[in-house]
Amino acid sequence: MKDSSYQHVCTVLVGISTLFRYICYDMATFIVESLVHSAHLRDPNSIIKHAGYYGQAVKEISTCLATFTVPVVLNYLKPKTILLIGSGMFIFYFACFFYINNYLYFLANILLGIAFALIYTAFLTYQMQFSTRKTLPRNSARITAIGNLSLILGGCLYIYVSKSRPHEADSISAETDYRYYSEGETRMLCGFLLASCLGNFVLTGLFPSKEVEDSVSSENPQVKLALKEQLGAVGSALVNPYILILIPRFLSHGLFISFMMNVYPTSLQYSTILARNYPMMTAYYAFAMCAGSTLCGILIAPLNRAFHDFGMRPLYYITVVLQLAIYILAGGELGSARATKPVAKL
């Protein structure tokens, strides 16, 4: 197979694998707090109250710490092997929702954090093996475009499960003022997400290992270093002045991602008026995020050609203004939602 055709095949295969992986990851991030809290209401002894929040915190800390060790792991294992390991950890995480308890849940969050760090780094490394310097932007754009469809498919899955969910013969759902997930609904939803993880694992196993001619990876051949040298390289990167300058940007980005993926979608399920009167709001939120990402991808490329370095400072300043507007609008929305009494039952 010609290198050009091979790159197209790899791009589509990696894009679909990414799609399956993020269908489960994004939807779980949106609903995990209320999902786990619903399990706590059914059996308070199985898992602690607000374990969903604590689990998300454990996952983020695990991801942060694991990121420091991933470069060391890449020195010993191939990117495809690391992707398979990370995908296996994703499977373990969703399998735990069929038997929720404190030990399994928090262990699963630790492993999910490690998996995310492994997959994120290994994915970029693998992509450089089938991309040249000229085709890397094109391949990245195509993979991102396919992967972003996860929000649409995840939203459709949420609507389907919500409309066809099996209602339990108990009084818990009637007494709660937020989005309650019955045991049957939890099993159905997590079953679909687990199947998506399995699809990602199978597709990752099918990734070809060939490296194209003049690939980005070949321009920067991997040098085997001793463990002490690798740790020294990681340490020197942490104190690099150019990295230190970017710390405020990293903090801003991390807080915004946490807000958009964890805090805000959770509030849609815990606000009484929104959870009861607009039960599909989480799905609509996913659709809007997908539309926004696609629109930005369409607009930024021509604007970057029309205005010099538009993708750098101008785009960053626009992003900051939009983030502030989002925080203000979200605060006003949630404040009014708390002040309004529900008028309809879910």
What does 136-175 look like in DSSP terms, one character per residue?
A: HHHHHHHHHHHHHHHHHHHHHHHHHHHHSPPPPSSSHHHH
Alpha carbon distances (Å) from 27 to 21, 175, 287? 10, 25, 12
* Choice among 9-23, 54-68, 133-147, 268-282 with the minimum mean pLDDT: 268-282
The tens digit of pLDDT for each residue in 149-180 reads: 888 888 888 888 877 765 554 555 555 667 78
Give the whole-number percent of the chain exceeding pLDDT 70. Answer: 87
Residue 109 burial by Cβ neighbours in a 10 Å radius (0-12, 13-18, 19+): buried
Q: Which pLDDT value is given to residue 202?
A: 93
* C-beta pairs of 187-192 under 8 Å, 24+ apart in sequence: 187/97, 187/98, 188/161, 188/164, 189/27, 189/31, 189/35, 189/157, 189/158, 189/161, 190/94, 190/97, 190/98, 192/157, 192/161
What's the DSSP call for residue 178?
S
Alpha carbon distances (Å) from 343 to 6, 173, 273, 346? 57, 16, 8, 10
Alpha carbon distances (Å) from 260 to 119, 255, 315, 320? 21, 9, 19, 14
Assigned token pair, 25: 């990851």
Q: How much is the mean pLDDT over the chain?
A: 81
The tens digit of pLDDT for each residue in 220-253 reads: 666 666 767 777 777 787 788 888 888 888 888 8
Q: Which pLDDT value is given to residue 336?
A: 60
d(CA 28, CA 37): 13
Q: What is the separation of C-alpha 220 from the centre of its chain, rounded to a whole number of angstroms?
A: 29
Q: What is the separation of C-alpha 238 from the centre of its chain, rounded to a whole number of angstroms?
A: 25
Closest alpha carbon to 83 in 143, 167, 17: 17
Q: Which pLDDT value is given to residue 78?
A: 87
Q: Which residues, listed in sequence order, are joined to residue 215 by a DSSP beta bridge?
A: 132
Q: How confident is the model at residue 342 (pLDDT cuts 50, 70, 90)?
A: very low
Check pLDDT > 70 for residue 337: no
The tens digit of pLDDT for each residue in 12-52 reads: 899 899 999 888 888 888 888 888 888 888 888 888 888 88
Give the whole-number percent of the chain exceeding pLDDT 90. Answer: 11
Check pLDDT > 50 for residue 304: yes
| More confident of the two residues 49 and 305 | 49
Which domains occur in the chain, in start order? 3-339 (1.20.1250.20)
The set of residues, in sequence order, having a beta carbon less than 8 Å from that of 77 and lying 6+ positions away, is: 85
Check pLDDT > 50 for residue 343: no
